[in-house]
Amino acid sequence: MNSAVVTLFKLAVLAGLALFPAIGSSFYVELVAKILVMAIFAMSLALLVGFTGLVSLGHAAYFGIAAYTVALIAPEYEAANLWFVLVASVLAAAVAAFFIGLFVLRTKGIYFIMVTLAFAQMAYYIFHDTALGRSSDGIYLNFKPDASLFGWMPFNLDEPLQLYYFILAAMVAVFVLLAFVLRSPFGRVLAGIHSNEHRMKSLGYATFRYKLAAFTLAGALAGVAGFLYAVLFGFVTPEYLSWHHSGNVLMMVILGGLGSLAGAVAGAFAFIGLQEMFSDWTKHWQLLMGLVIVAAVLFMPTGLAGLPRRIFRTINWGEDDE
Amino acid sequence: MSEAMLVADRLTRHFGGLTANLEVCITLERGKLHALLGPNGAGKSTCINMLSGDLPPSSGRILLEDRDVTGLDSAARSHRGIGRSYQRTNIFPQFTVLENCRLAAQSRKPRPWRIFTDAMKASDTVERAHAAIVEAGLGGRELRKAGVLSHGEQRQLEIAMVLATDARVLLLDEPLAGMGSEESAQMVELLRKLKQNRAILLVEHDMDAVFAVADTITVMVEGSVLESGPPEQIRNSEEVQAAYLGEEEHG
């Protein structure tokens, strides 16, 4: 399988997503928009888990902090300016990730998992139990942000279709940005840290700074997802920061295949698609989801991203390109 | 014309109640290869770890070109020109030979902010990596995965990576370990070439190799320097023979 085929496949998926509103009902358009937001969230975590080797179990904190930032700074009786709240909420998530990163990146392995979880739980309780979060029931965002830029209105997020395309554009932008980052000198250092951090140090890399930059970038991009989620549903709740949410996004990344951006996107589609399907059948959908995850890890160790190559190999069609 | 590049001044390291190194003094000079010998447990690894910055000394100083580098970590010492290879092969097995050396070379010009630049297109870094690969004798194997190289080739790659960082002081921890006689002979040749404009510390068990390339030999026993001098002096030293060489013959 050569890279031209892969690129063609990605473009076909993108075309399908762009054309989807023409055939899907409004329910499904909103569902796909939700999946696209979660795909951004999954890609941001993939930067840490799949490419740098940092397994964070508290990534929902940055998603939730950005979501709450929009809800808290948006005026109650009129629409907030989109560009202002977007920058403010992403910045809030990035700043939180930077300062939490200063602490958690001093730990490794299982301890890293525990302290990222601990910080996320603290953030959860701040919004759940203090006056800052207003109420444990959450906050409504009464108006979609207004996209006007110096009097010019490029699009209107009150229109579900335009909101859908705005989210699709954001997903593509995050995908392209991360693809660039991963092949840049910075991205190669992250890959080196993933492979052998000790050797990277002895080669002269201050690995802590690189990991902190990656952690901050991942937090900022999780913030993009949290922001879009709040705008899409017009509502924020402390559940956005809960460890279930951190666990779900980690499962998307694993399901999709570690070390692949497209895999993270596929993982978001698979996870939320199955979630919808199973919850239609039974309210104990998590049992079925658990079985799927176990089966995926056992029988599909390279995730959805590794599936095409494995299928090609099995039916012995095309050449082995590795 | 010799000049001292790296000086270890009375390095001491305790691990709890155990003294792994006691007042060890070593001087590495440009153009010279200094070999560190000693039976297992003599403290050679502790010594090289202190010199590379992997392990802080309990007391003593390390001077690089008259500047105190004792407080610097391994990354900072690498930037001052100290490069180290490891006894247990320590490479990036999933990456190609070229990428292993390219990452090493990139550390001299990290450019982390250029996130829209393809790392493979930074020509100065790629050229430096290629030059190091050729110098270490791995030319033609650039695109092979490091993990599938033979043991000897992986040892060469270790050295290529250090060369790619433009190190002026090389700390080589048993580069001949596990090599066959032909590979060893090639590595000895390589060491001879490398020492011409660098200072080298060689920790090694292969006596033939050490006496073939070393300009100075320091013998350590039980954490202390037993004797230090040119190869003939060490070869004829009764103390060294009693403490180490004789033992090696039987063992």
| Shortest alpha-carbon distance between residue B110 and chain A (Å) | 7
| Rounded Cα gap, residues B91 and B190, in angstroms | 19
pLDDT higher than 70, residue B176 = yes
- CB-CB neighbors (< 8 A) of B119 in chain A: 183-185, 187-188
Fold classified for B1-81+169-183+192-251: Rossmann fold (3.40.50)
Whole-number pLDDT of residue A95: 98
- Output the furthest CA–CA distance in chain A (Å, rounded): 62
Mean of all residue pLDDT scores within chain A: 92
Nearest to A32 by CA among A269, A305, A271, A270: A269
Q: Indicate the length of chain A as a whole number.
A: 322
One-letter identity of residue A105: L
One-letter identity of residue B60: G
User: What average pLDDT does the segment A293-312 reach?
Assistant: 85
| Rounded Cα gap, residues A155 and A133, in angstroms | 30
- Residues B93, A195: contact at Cβ < 8 Å? yes
- The 10 Å CB-count burial string (b at 16+, else e) for B157-178 is bbbbbbbbbbbbbbbbbbbbbe
Over residues B6-65, the pLDDT tens digits come to: 999 999 999 998 999 999 999 999 999 999 998 888 899 999 999 999 999 999 999 999
Over residues A215-242, the pLDDT tens digits come to: 999 999 999 999 999 999 999 999 999 9
- CB-CB neighbors (< 8 A) of B76 in chain A: 204
Q: What residue ranges define each of the domains in chain A, with the CATH number in brackets?
A: 26-310 (1.10.3470)
Whole-number pLDDT of residue A1: 54
Q: Do A184 and B78 touch (CB under 8 A)?
A: no
| Rounded Cα gap, residues A61 and A243, in angstroms | 9
Nearest to A63 by CA among A252, A190, A211, A282: A252
- Residues B164, B124: contact at Cβ < 8 Å? no
ipTM over 0.85: yes
Q: Which residue of B has its CA nearest to A183?
A: B118
Task: State the number of CA atoms in the 13 A half-sphere of B190 facing the CB.
Answer: 27
Domain boundaries, chain B: 1-81+169-183+192-251, 89-167
- CB-CB neighbors (< 8 A) of B116 in chain A: 180, 184
pLDDT higher than 50, residue B250 = no
Q: Is the Cα torsion angle A255, A19, A232, A27 positive or negative in sign?
A: negative
Residue B65's H or E segment, with its range, is none
Please indicate if any CB of chain B lies within 8 Å of the CB of A151.
no
